[in-house]
A and B are shown apart, each in its own frame.
Chain A
């Protein structure tokens, strides 16, 4: 027994290494959303391209949607734009834009120049809807189910890999 006890420090060291190793692969900038499995916050905000139209929660429910938070001041948003266009082409899910703390003229120009993957855009100029949603920096992408419940949040550029991940979640709903 005492001889086995001599290995205790080694065992402790191994446990420590395990935790530190795990820590290396965690991105501290990626925060869990506090709104997972909760309803998308209620809102009544203008549409970006049709200012006279007031968008509300009713526009998001009925079928699953992707809500993509973007802005023209956000370089990563430009990076993910082509991927969003590809997703829109596949017609598997509607993408709703949440134009976050942006300028209407610049945002409109952006959509004209780069293409418009969004069904419509919520024009959150003050950033208050973003605040209710727990947005801390664009781009962010939320997957909502047909009831408007937030099921998944992705922070950062949407890549092909992210899209695969999203599709897996959507498929698990169809199987239910």
Chain B
């Protein structure tokens, strides 16, 4: 029984390792760039995974391509451009600014400005009202002033 379990664990370990492809890098810098790129590029097939996480055939191909291009001394920008040329902006987990998504980039700032403008407008309106009411209460005509004086004098007696 024990042997059977050891056999089972060995088998499962084997299959777990089989799905991880190994890449050898000449220097640590390339290795770091590789991990950065496959983390930031999105798998076109399994949409909510990046290339590093996905096990689909296309993700394996794209990882291989990234590795090859790094070996060919391509820059990160060249590699990302290569992917975008084939799969569109979709493959970017860090999207670029362009005409199509401008509203998503700028929308929050526009809303912020609109909100600020409304707040400023409303507070100004309110303070104007306060000033107006104080001014009105100050401006008394002659009759009112006389009455006020009378009332005040009453208290003195």
Contacts and interface: CB of A to CB of B under 8 A. Distances in A.
A152 to B, nearest CB: 15
Contact of A32 (B61, B84, B88): B88
Contacts of A135: 58
B58 A136 contact: yes
Given A28-B47, A101-B57, A127-B61, A136 B87 contact: yes
Interface string A8-42: 00000000000000000000110111110000000
A132 B87 CA distance: 9
A131 interface: yes
A166 interface: no
Interface in B73-108: 84-88, 90
Contact of B45 (A33, A128, A131, A137): A137
B65 interface: yes
B62 interface: yes
Contact of A134 (B47, B56, B88): B88
A133 B61 CA distance: 13
Contacts of B58: 127, 131, 135-137
Q: Which of A29, A34, A101 has the most CB of B within 10 A?
A: A34
A127 B90 CA distance: 20
A34 B44 contact: no
A31 B57 contact: no
Q: Which of B57, B65, B85, B90 has the most CB of A within 10 A?
A: B57
Contact of A31 (B61, B85, B88): B88
Contacts of A35: 86
A131 B44 contact: no
Nearest to B43: A136
Interface in B32-73: 44-45, 47, 56-58, 61-62, 65
Interface string A103-145: 0000000000000000000000001100111111100000000
A32 B86 CA distance: 11
B145 to A, nearest CB: 37
28 contacts: A28-B47, A29-B47, A31-B87, A32-B88, A33-B88, A34-B84, A34-B85, A34-B86, A34-B87, A35-B86, A101-B57, A127-B58, A127-B61, A131-B58, A131-B61, A131-B62, A131-B65, A131-B86, A133-B86, A134-B44, A134-B86, A134-B88, A136-B45, A136-B58, A136-B87, A137-B44, A137-B45, A137-B56
For the complex of A and B, the 8 pairs showing the least CB-CB separation, nearest first, are A136-B44, A34-B88, A134-B86, A136-B45, A137-B45, A136-B58, A134-B87, A31-B90
Interface of B: 44-45, 47, 56-58, 61-62, 65, 84-88, 90
Interface of A: 28-29, 31-35, 101, 127-128, 131-137
Given A34-B88, A131-B58, A137-B45, 15 more contacts: A28-B47, A29-B47, A31-B88, A34-B84, A35-B86, A128-B61, A131-B62, A131-B65, A134-B86, A134-B87, A134-B88, A135-B58, A136-B45, A136-B58, A136-B87
